[in-house]
């Protein structure tokens, strides 16, 4: 497995809509394994394929150390392909979020407290999952990436511009 390079804002690829995965191959599964290794390397809770420069509707998620819900040992990691949110609660919860593609920034985002998704798993098998609390938040955050939306897009234009200037400055200091 390889660690993949992370795409960070303001890279325009992060603003593009990702395309569905049409077939599952060994190469697709290897890519998902590489995404997972990359997410662990970056200490992330989730990662969307676009965050490593691939515009495909693939997510990997592992919050086993932070999930308040008792789950089977083999529940994580989650490989979520072509996700579709089919239900959302009306109740919104505001919480602080970070993002591998928006380094050194924390932003308050209001999201539905619970969701239900339909998706394909690691082997291309159709699944449904009800999620609430932290897992629901991580799934929604990663699904936003698939639509070309970043957590900073929840900010006012003024605040978003300030964050983008900080990110450009950070990127210039690293390069």
Residue 145 marked as a ligand binder: yes
Beta bridge partners of 110: 94
Instruction: Report the half-sphere exposure of 171 (CA within 13 A, side-chain side).
Output: 14
Query: Going from the N-terminus, what domains does the chain have, and what CATH number goes with each?
Result: 12-174 (3.90.45.10)
Residue by residue, DSSP assigns 109-139 as: EEEESEEEEEEE-TTS-EEEEEEEHHHHHHH
pLDDT tens, position by position, for the chain (175 residues)?
799 999 999 999 999 999 999 999 999 999 999 999 999 999 999 999 999 999 999 999 999 888 777 888 888 999 999 999 999 999 999 999 999 999 989 999 999 999 999 999 999 999 999 999 999 999 999 999 999 999 999 999 999 889 888 888 877 776 5
**Residues with a known catalytic role:** 142
Query: What's the rounded Cα separation, in Å, for the pair 175 and 98?
Result: 22
41 is in an annotated binding site: no
Structural tokens at position 13? 């690829």
Pair of tokens at residue 28:
């697709």
């Amino acid at each position: 497995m390889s660690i993949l390079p992370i795409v960070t804002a303001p890279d325009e690829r992060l603003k593009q809509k990702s395309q569905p995965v049409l077939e599952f191959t060994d190469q697709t599964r290897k890519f998902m394994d590489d995404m997972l290794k990359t997410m662990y390397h970056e200490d992330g809770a989730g990662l969307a394929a676009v965050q490593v420069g691939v515009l495909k509707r693939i997510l990997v998620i592992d919050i086993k150390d932070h999930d308040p819900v008792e789950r089977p040992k083999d529940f994580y990691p989650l490989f979520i392909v072509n996700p579709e949110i089919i239900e959302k609660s009306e109740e919104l919860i505001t919480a602080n979020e970070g993002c591998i593609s928006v380094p050194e920034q924390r932003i308050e985002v209001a999201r539905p407290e619970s969701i239900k998704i339909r998706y394909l798993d690691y082997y291309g098998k159709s699944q449904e999952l009800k999620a609430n609390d932290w897992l629901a938040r991580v799934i929604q955050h990663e699904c936003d990436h698939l639509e070309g939306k970043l957590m900073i897009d929840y900010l006012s234009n003024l605040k978003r511009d300030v964050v983008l200037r900080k990110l450009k400055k950070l990127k210039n200091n690293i390069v």
